[in-house]
């Protein structure tokens, strides 16, 4: 359980987060929504501990983030962000092994190696394990990064507490196939003592995958709900400054949004 309590974040004169309080509940796919500049990525960075809030606090299973050591925190939560490029020809398995760095000191154990293998298998990249990362396509590179964060918070059989996966717009450079694959893998994690907290740009994808939603507007929480039906047309029209219409898929009965300016 990750709790953000009364968080303000200021840089110089810019007041990016204003008194934000949200509880991201365990075992859920939590989605942070909002227009550009609403503070989504900042909120995510504060919740991961990468940025220290100007005021307020972040609690991880009831403990203040600042009390947890960097290594302990790194074994409990991982962050997958947008496209990562490497200037050096590290192999795919070396990149995935980085996810195990918080778990071993000098030499990876057999368990670490095994986890790397399993993470690679989950993203279907086992056959490219020895290939140099920079030679992969953008979609494949993001799969490798996904395997890396999976390896970082891998639970194996004996869970040592809930893990959290933060996603910071991880699909923004991916085509629709890779996008859905990545989010499917993230959803499967929920069954393994894992919480997902994601910033997603595509509202329809967000509503399709999310169980709990936080809508940010101008650094404040405009809505926090578990019910996608509470995300109304009027809310979306106000926050995103578009016209929104909810449609229903005649076959599945799922609803989705259509936007116009």
Partner 1 sequence: MLKRLTFAQVYLLLAVLLAGAVVASAGIGAFTFSPAEMLRYLGEAAGWMSAPASDTLGRNVFLELRLPRVVLAGVTGAVLGVSGTIMQGLFRNPIVEPGLAGTSAGAAFGAALVFVLGEKTTLAFTAPLGALAVPVLAFVGAFAATMLVYRVSTSFGKVNVFTLLLAGIAVNAVCSAGTGFLSYIARDPQARNITFWNLGTFTTASWRGTVLVSVAFLLCFAWALRHGKSLNALMLGEDEAAALGIDPAGLILRLIILNTIMVAVDTAMVGVIAFIGLVVPHMLRMMKSADYTFLLPASALFGALLMECIDIVARLVISPAELPIGIITAVVGAPVFLYILLRQQRSGGAFYG
Contact 2, 24 (CB under 8 A): yes
**Pairwise CA distance, residues 28 & 21, whole Å:** 17
**Residue 77 or 128 having the CB closest to partner 1:** 77
Stretch that binds partner 1, among 13-21, 23-31, 85-93, 193-201 (CB under 8 A): 85-93
C-beta atoms surrounding 172 within 10 Å: 15
> Does position 161 bind partner 1 by CB under 8 A?
no
Smallest separation, CB 55 to partner 1 (Å): 21
Q: Which of residues 22-61 bind partner 1 (CB under 8 A)?
A: 45, 48, 50
Q: Which of residues 86-105 bind partner 1 (CB under 8 A)?
A: 86-91, 94-95, 98-99, 101-102
**Residue 94 or 202 having the CB closest to partner 1:** 94
**Pairwise CA distance, residues 19 & 156, whole Å:** 38
Query: What's the chain's length in residues?
Result: 261
**Residue 116 or 244 having the CB closest to partner 1:** 116
Of the candidates 94, 72, 55, the one whose C-alpha atom is nearest the C-alpha of residue 164 is: 72
Phi then psi dihedrals of residue 241, to 5 deg: 55, 50
In degrees, rounded to 5, the angle at the alpha carbon of residue 172 between the alpha carbons of residues 167 and 175 is 120
> Does position 172 bind partner 1 by CB under 8 A?
no
> Does position 167 bind partner 1 by CB under 8 A?
no
Residues facing residue 7 across a β-bridge: 20
Stretch that binds partner 1, among 28-36, 52-60, 131-139, 234-242 (CB under 8 A): 131-139
Smallest separation, CB 87 to partner 1 (Å): 5
3-state SS, residue 260: strand
Contact 239, 217 (CB under 8 A): yes
Q: Which residue has the tokens 């494949």?
A: 140
Per-residue binding letters, 191-230, with partner 1 (x by CB under 8 A): ----------------------------------------
**Interface residues toward partner 1, by CB under 8 A:** 45, 48, 50, 70-71, 73-75, 77-79, 81, 84-91, 94-95, 98-99, 101-102, 132, 134-135, 152
């Amino acid at each position: 359980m990750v709790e953000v309590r009364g968080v303000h974040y200021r840089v110089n004169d810019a007041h990016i987060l204003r008194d934000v309080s949200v509880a991201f509940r365990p075992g859920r796919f939590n989605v942070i929504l909002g227009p550009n500049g609403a503070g989504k990525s900042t909120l995510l960075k504060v919740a991961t501990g990468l940025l220290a809030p100007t005021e307020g606090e972040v609690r991880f299973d009831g403990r203040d983030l600042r009390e947890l050591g960097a290594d302990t925190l790194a074994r409990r939560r991982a962050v997958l962000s947008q496209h990562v490029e490497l200037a050096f020809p590290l192999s795919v398995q070396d990149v995935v092994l980085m996810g195990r760095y918080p778990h071993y000191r000098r030499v990876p154990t057999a368990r670490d190696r095994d986890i790397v293998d399993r993470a690679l298998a989950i993203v279907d990249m086992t056959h490219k394990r020895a290939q140099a990362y920079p030679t992969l396509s953008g979609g494949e590179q993001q799969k490798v990064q996904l395997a890396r964060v999976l390896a970082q918070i891998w639970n194996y059989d004996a869970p040592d507490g809930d893990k959290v996966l933060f996603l910071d717009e991880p699909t923004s450079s991916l085509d629709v196939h890779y996008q859905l694959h990545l989010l499917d893998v993230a959803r499967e994690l929920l069954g393994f003592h894992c919480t997902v907290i994601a910033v997603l740009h595509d509202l329809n994808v967000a509503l399709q995958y999310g169980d709990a939603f936080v809508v940010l507007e101008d650094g404040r929480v405009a809505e926090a709900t578990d019910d996608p039906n509470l995300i109304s047309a009027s809310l979306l029209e106000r926050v995103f400054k578009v016209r929104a219409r909810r449609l229903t898929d005649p076959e599945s009965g799922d609803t989705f949004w259509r936007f116009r300016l």
